[in-house]
Structure 1
Amino acid sequence: MAPTSAPPTWQHRAAHAVTLLALPSCLWRIGLALGFPLGYTDEGHRIICPPGLAGPVYLIGLSVATEIAALLTLGLVQRWGEVVPRWVPVIGGRTVPVPAVLIPAWIGVAALGALWTPFAFWWAMPHDDMTPAGHTLVGFLYLPLVAWAPILAVLAVSYRRRR
């Protein structure tokens, strides 16, 4: 099945916005990995980022994985989400099967919804390992991620309609 039409500008903007939604929390985690408490008490920081290499590697790896997942959202509006780039060995130039895009997208919608929706209630949850200012700051850094699943769902529906 060949692609039918280009996505409208608002969809490109929405897909690019996802990468920006994830950025504040990713940068915050990298700061934690670099040893800055960033709103945690000393004990809370030791829990979230244990001494040694494992804690920082985990936090940086999580930030990188989050941004990669956010960048994959672009596949719903970019040409490479419809046709495999020619430089890819063996399959380059072939049409991307619609299920190969939509199945991971809908799994992502479910996973992201389950993961980030509770952050809409962040301020109602106690966090004894954080300072009051840190608790407020982290809430604002993570709150944008609540929008990721709905944006991904809208883009997945649009992708399906176009293809």
Structure 2
Amino acid sequence: MTRYKVGLADTTFARVDMASVAEKVLKEHLPGVETPRYTVPGIKDLPVACKRLIEEEGCDLVMAFGMPGPTEIDKQCAMVASMGLILAQLLTNTHIIEVFVHEDEAEDERELHELAVKRAEEHALNVVKMLEKPEALTREAGMGRREGHPDVGPARL
């Protein structure tokens, strides 16, 4: 059995503990998986948290959880954080799965919570596939999959 180390980077700004949700899914599907966690204050702190999990903790892959607010500055911060995560991936040659839930994706608190939980679970399952069954992702290419929302399916002529 291959033993994996999947880092979990999250923020205190988020309103749902998505890292714990993902950790539960990972432990169900990857027996023996280690899940070191690094929590930071805000979304723009995630790139260095992820890079440290990779370089200092030896993670095979990292999941980065964030929940940008609904304002324009929040959206700008999310874009900057995304760019930082991409740079961290390129610098470390390691996948960082961005799991962001924008507060304005939901109509109310309940929907926001459900969306965050579902997105964290579905991205954790993607991580399992990336590590254990990459051919499964290849079979899903072009299928209009959406984490946290209903799949839209492939475009048809």
Per the normalisation by structure 2, the TM-score is 0.25
Higher strand proportion (structure 1 or 2): 2
Select the structure with the greater relative contact order (CA < 8 A; seq sep ≥ 6). Answer: 1
Per the normalisation by structure 1, the TM-score is 0.25
Structure having the higher Rg? 1
